[in-house]
């Protein structure tokens, strides 16, 4: 079975990870967060990319796609090797820019089907406040005001055009992410139930 992919996009702190966790509890999807995979690779002993990833994340910049796509592809392959029934993936926080999109197209276009984009729409102010709040305990090197301003800039400049591109293809399913977690999930449910 060819992997079926839902890209999950939205600003920093919009609630992508939170909602993906809820989806996994209720639907047969595997959650792959590109950011989590990069943080894991950053911490892996012997990784050639640890320092590069570290500095990109702190600066809110987007890591070159060659690194990210390999991590995603390996994670997908590993999941399907262990259980071929697990062919439905939520890819969270990717593709974030033109380079990401080109890398995906070159490497994955014939290997996986992108069903749609689940887009968590949230004001920058709410996004920033959620990340600052989480920053009190998350230990994430980018949950501080300075990094957050850069993350928001990158989101607006680089990720927004990707969302618009998918919008033109009729592939975006938008959710108002400013509501409570349960309300947001109710909206997610109605989308997933419709998509099958």
The footprint of ligand UP5 (CB under 6 A) covers 10, 12-18, 33-35, 38, 56-57, 60-63, 68, 93-94, 96, 100, 130-131, 134, 142, 151, 180-181, 184
> Whats the size of the chain, residue-wise?
196
Least distance (Å) between residue 2 CB and Mg ion: 26
Q: Nearest distance from residue 76's CB to ligand UP5, in Å?
A: 14
Minimum gap (Å) between residue 84 Cβ and ligand UP5: 26
Q: Which does 13 bind (CB under 5 to 8 A by kind): ligand UP5, Mg ion, none?
A: ligand UP5
Cβ of residue 187: shortest distance to ligand UP5, in angstroms?
A: 11
DSSP assignment string, 20-71:
HHHHHHHSS-EEEEHHHHHHHHHHSTT-SSHHHHHHHHHTTPPPPHHHHHHH
Query: How remote is the C-alpha of 181 from its chain's centroid?
Result: 17
**In sequence order, what are the residues at sequence separation of 6 or more whose Cβ sits closer than 8 angstroms to the Cβ of residue 83?**
none
69 binds, among Mg ion, ligand UP5, none (CB under 5 to 8 A by kind): none
- Binding partner at 2 among Mg ion, ligand UP5, none, C-beta below 5 to 8 Å by kind: none
Tell me the backbone φ, ψ of residue 98, rounded to 5 degrees: -60, -40
Candidate ranges 13-21, 41-49, 98-106, 133-141; the one touching Mg ion (CB under 5 A): 13-21
Q: Residue with CB nearest ligand UP5?
A: 35
Collapsed DSSP state (helix, strand, coil) of residue 111: coil
CB-based burial of residue 21 (10 Å sphere; 0-12 exposed, 13-18 middle, 19+ buried)? middle
Q: Write the DSSP string, 132-187.
A: HHHHHHH--TT-SHHHHHHHHHHIIIIIHHHHHHHHHTT-EEEEETTS-HHHHHHH
Residue 178 CB, nearest distance to ligand UP5 (Å)? 7
Nearer to ligand UP5, 3 or 103 (CB): 103
What character string, x for contact with Mg ion (CB under 5 A) and - otherwise, covers 14-43? --xx--------------------------
45, two tokens: 């002993």
Q: Which residues bind Mg ion (CB under 5 A)?
A: 16-17
């Amino acid at each position: 079975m060819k992997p079926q992919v839902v890209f999950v996009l939205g600003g920093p702190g919009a609630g992508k990870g939170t909602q993906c966790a809820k989806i996994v509890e209720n639907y047969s999807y595997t959650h792959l967060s590109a950011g989590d995979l990069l943080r894991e690779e950053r911490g892996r002993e012997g990784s050639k990319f640890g320092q590069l990833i570290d500095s990109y994340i702190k600066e809110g910049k987007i890591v070159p796609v060659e690194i990210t796509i390999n991590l995603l592809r390996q994670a997908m392959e590993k999941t399907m090797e262990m259980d071929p029934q697990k062919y439905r993936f939520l890819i969270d926080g990717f593709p974030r820019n033109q380079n990401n999109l080109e890398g995906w197209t070159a490497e994955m276009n014939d290997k996986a089907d992108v069903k749609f984009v689940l887009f968590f729409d949230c004001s920058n102010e709410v996004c920033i406040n959620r990340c600052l709040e989480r920053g009190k305990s998350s230990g994430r090197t980018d949950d501080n005001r300075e990094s957050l301003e850069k993350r928001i800039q990158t989101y607006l400049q680089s990720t927004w055009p990707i969302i618009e591109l998918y919008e033109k293809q009729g592939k975006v399913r938008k959710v108002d992410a400013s509501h409570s977690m349960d309300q947001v999930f109710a909206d997610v449910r109605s989308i997933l139930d419709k998509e099958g």
